Amino acid sequence: MNEINVCFGNQVKQIRLEKGLTQDSLAVMSGLERSQLSKIESGLVDVQISTVQKLSNALKVEIGELMQTRDLSMHPFVKWAGGKTQLLDRLIALMPKEYKDYYEPFIGGGALFFKVKPRHPHINDMNDELLSAYRCFLKKDSCDRLMAKLDEYDKNHSEDNYLIVRALDKDKNWQANADDVERAARMIYLNKACFNGLFRVNSKGFFNVPSGKKKTVNAYDKVNFINVLGYFSVSKPVITHEDFSKAVNNAKSGDFVYFDPPYDTWDDKSSFTSYDKEGFGKKDQARLADCFRELDKKGVKVMLSNHNTKYINELYSGFEINVVNAKRMINSVASGRGDVEEVIIRNFK
Ligand SMILES: C[S@@+](CC[C@H](N)C(=O)[O-])C[C@H]1O[C@@H](n2cnc3c(N)ncnc32)[C@H](O)[C@@H]1O
């Protein structure tokens, strides 16, 4: 696919959606075949200037605006514990200006990833429900099916339906047969409808967050989904599901790795670290520090965020450590929310 066609197609689709038009109605208004419009929006065809003119008239926007490959602005499609949205400015200021491939082995909601839009991304997480959603953006067909399924969940939302959807992971038949789209739709809907946007599973691996008791749910932002689809079609992210140490095996000199692991805990503070049934303990933090050092030796640029605990400071002594203040918004225990000190650690200046 040609990058310019993809950006142009995205621009047409974004403006069409902002104006509340369906593909059918824009096809009629512009005098184009619907199938041709669909190909244009998917970035599959070169567009003639006469076609651009027709679309600009139908959408009532200047040709210049239509041709502007608007900066694809994206944001996380799930609310994720430990999400880095409020530290973004600090992280961006501290990350390298130039690098080859981008690795984010604890991708979670991907706040930094969606902000930076790296050209050659490798993303990874141990949570395969979450990855099923990322994989849906690799193909237009699966992204369309995901949106349709989420529309259905939103429309049928009720307390009873929440419980039915939540219980699907206990249904052996569903577990055996659900594809990425179905898993992703369930995960995103539950994330938006549950209490406090938490993804938490019990010791058996079943999602167990209570309902947020919302009257209505808007599980996704259509323009954001379309932008993610467009970005993925150009950047073709490598998406893996393995332990962080394996996910960075191929990182080479000049690449950039950003580690945002589950937090180390203070003994006296309650923090959320159990994204999956195994959890992430002190030994894992030590394994991660070893991995950080290995990458450093290979000439990879590495940045890591964590709580400002004594243990983390000891593990990374000798590296560049910046202390920053952050607000913890998601915690099952209210006393675990509020201001906390975090560190951003780097092997470069
Ligand atoms: C702090 S969150 C990442 C938050 C993310 N940066 C964001 O902006 O939303 C940590 C993530 O690490 C994942 N994780 C836990 N153990 C892991 C492991 N051993 N290897 C890779 N990922 C792991 C969790 O599933 C979780 O999504």
The domain that holds 106 is classified in CATH as 3.40.50.150
Q: Is 82 in the pocket of ligand 1 (CB under 6 A)?
A: yes
**Counts for the chain of helices (H) and strands (E), in that order:** 16, 7
Residues 153 and 215 in one domain: yes
What pLDDT is recorded for position 11? 82
Give the helix/strand (H/E) hosting 56.
helix 49-59
Residue 267 in any domain: the answer is: yes
Residues 167 and 201 in one domain: yes
Residues 217 and 250 in one domain: no
Residues 250 and 331 in one domain: yes
Cα 107 to ligand 1 centre (Å): 6
Q: What's 29's domain CATH number? A: 1.10.260.40
Residues 59 and 116 in one domain: no
Cα 36 to ligand 1 centre (Å): 41
What pLDDT is recorded for position 342? 94
Residues 213 and 151 in one domain: yes
Residue 19 backbone zone (phi > 0: left; psi -120 to 50: alpha; other: beta): alpha
Residues 133 and 122 in one domain: no
Residue owning the nearest CA to atom 8 of ligand 1 = 83
Pocket test for ligand 1, best of 85, 87, 113, 126 (most atoms within 8 A of CB): 126
pTM: 0.80
* Distance between CA atoms of residues 258 and 267, nearest Å: 26
Q: Is 9 in the pocket of ligand 1 (CB under 6 A)?
A: no
Cα 95 to ligand 1 centre (Å): 19
Q: Do residues 322 and 87 lie in contact, with contact meaning Cβ atoms separated by under 8 Å? A: no
Cα 201 to ligand 1 centre (Å): 14
Residue owning the nearest CA to atom 18 of ligand 1 = 243
What pLDDT is recorded for position 115? 93
Give the helix/strand (H/E) hosting 322.
strand 320-328
Cα 186 to ligand 1 centre (Å): 19
* Distance between CA atoms of residues 210 and 339, nearest Å: 25
Query: What is the number of the ligand 1 atom nearest to the C-alpha of 261?
Result: 10
Query: What is the number of the ligand 1 atom nearest to the C-alpha of 276?
Result: 25
Residue 336 in any domain: the answer is: yes
Q: What's 160's domain CATH number? A: 1.10.1020.10
Residue 330: which domain range? Answer: 85-126+242-346
What pLDDT is recorded for position 332? 47
Cα 229 to ligand 1 centre (Å): 22
Q: Is 77 in the pocket of ligand 1 (CB under 6 A)?
A: no
Residue 249 in any domain: the answer is: yes
Q: How many domains does the chain have?
A: 3
Residue 237 in any domain: the answer is: no
Per-residue pLDDT of the chain (349 residues; tens, 9 = 90+): 556 777 788 788 878 887 889 999 999 999 999 999 999 988 888 899 899 999 999 999 888 878 765 567 899 999 998 888 889 999 999 999 999 999 999 999 999 999 999 989 999 999 999 999 999 999 989 999 999 999 999 999 999 999 999 999 999 999 999 999 999 999 999 999 999 887 777 878 888 899 999 999 999 998 899 889 988 988 899 999 999 999 999 999 999 999 999 999 876 554 555 555 557 999 999 999 999 999 999 999 999 999 999 999 999 999 999 999 887 655 544 545 567 899 999 999 9
Measure CA of the first residue to CA of the last residue in the chain; give whole Å: 37
What one-letter code names the amino acid at 54?
Answer: K
Q: Is 203 helix (H, G, I), strand (E, B) or coil?
A: coil
Domain boundary, last residue among 16, 37, 67: 67
Residue 7 in any domain: the answer is: yes
Q: Is 104 in the pocket of ligand 1 (CB under 6 A)?
A: no
Residues 246 and 113 in one domain: yes
Residue 75 in any domain: the answer is: no
Residue owning the nearest CA to atom 17 of ligand 1 = 126
Q: Is 287 in the pocket of ligand 1 (CB under 6 A)?
A: no
Residue 236 in any domain: the answer is: no
Residues 275 and 187 in one domain: no
Residues 189 and 149 in one domain: yes
Q: Is 80 in the pocket of ligand 1 (CB under 6 A)?
A: yes
Residues 164 and 121 in one domain: no
* Distance between CA atoms of residues 17 and 11, nearest Å: 10
Q: Is 275 in the pocket of ligand 1 (CB under 6 A)?
A: yes
What pLDDT is recorded for position 78? 95
Q: Is 111 in the pocket of ligand 1 (CB under 6 A)?
A: yes
Residues 136 and 181 in one domain: yes
Residue 248 in any domain: the answer is: yes
Q: Is 347 in the pocket of ligand 1 (CB under 6 A)?
A: no
What pLDDT is recorded for position 267? 66
* Distance between CA atoms of residues 242 and 163, nearest Å: 30
Distance of CA 238 to the CA centre of its chain: 13
Q: Is 345 helix (H, G, I), strand (E, B) or coil?
A: strand
What pLDDT is recorded for position 119? 85
